Structure 1
Amino acid sequence: MELPNLVGIAEIAGGTVVFLMLVYRQVKTGARDAWREEAEAQTAKADRLSLDVETLVREVRALRDENAGLRKEVAELRAENRELREHIDRLIGGNA
């Protein structure tokens, strides 16, 4: 091969190497940016879910407290109902 041909091939090979390096760098940078964006999106989603869980925990605690109060009220009403039935049975001469 003659020197001009080698120089031409070297220029093409050099240009190709530079082009491939730029493409690789762009792909690597793009992938890094994509992963960063995905990580940020997942972090934001996790933060929202954490707030949702905190809200649900507060609501469940409030419902449990309300339920406990209602259970107590029902127990009192049952006792009152039992007393009223016994009183009615005594009034009408039933066995009590």
Structure 2
Amino acid sequence: MELSSLVGASEIVGGALLFMGLVYRQIKTGARDAWREEAEAQTAKSDRLAADVAELIEEVRLFRVENEGLRGEVAALRIENSELREHIDVLINGRASE
């Protein structure tokens, strides 16, 4: 093999290696950037979900307070309903129901 052929081959191989190195670095940098972007997106999503969960917890707490109040109202209405039934029975039958 002649020296000029060897030099030409080394230039081709060297250029190819340099090109491959640049492509590898670009892929590595792109992958790193992609992973960083994905991590940031997941962090933002996690923050939104945490805020949603906190809001839902507060809504459930308010519903429980409201529900407790409604339970009291229902109990009072049941007593009133029972008293009204007894009164109606007295009016219809002339006596209290047994």
TM-score after normalising by structure 2: 0.90
Q: In structure 2, the residue corresponding to 1:19 is in which secondary structure? A: helix
**Does the alignment pair 1:62 with 2:62?**
yes
In 1, Cα distance between equivalents of 2:70 and 2:96: 32
- Aligned counterparts, 1:2-21, within 5 A: 2-21=2-21
Which portions of structure 1, spanning 4 or more consecutive aligned residues, are displaced by more than 4 angstroms?
Answer: none
Give the drift of 1:94. Answer: 2.9
Q: In structure 1, the residue corresponding to 2:40 is in which secondary structure? A: helix
Asked whether the equivalents of residues 87 and 96 of structure 2 are also in contact (C-alpha less than 8 Å), the reply is no
- Matched-pair identity in %: 69
RMSD of aligned residue pairs (Cα, Å): 1.2
In 2, Cα distance between equivalents of 1:79 and 1:14: 95
Q: In structure 1, the residue corresponding to 2:75 is in which secondary structure? A: helix
**Does the alignment pair 1:95 with 2:85?**
no
Q: Summarize deviations over 1:40-69 as a string: whole Å, max 9, x none.
A: 001101100110111011001101110111
Q: In structure 1, the residue corresponding to 2:65 is in which secondary structure? A: helix
TM-score after normalising by structure 1: 0.92
Ranges in structure 2 where 5+ consecutive residues have no aligned partner: none
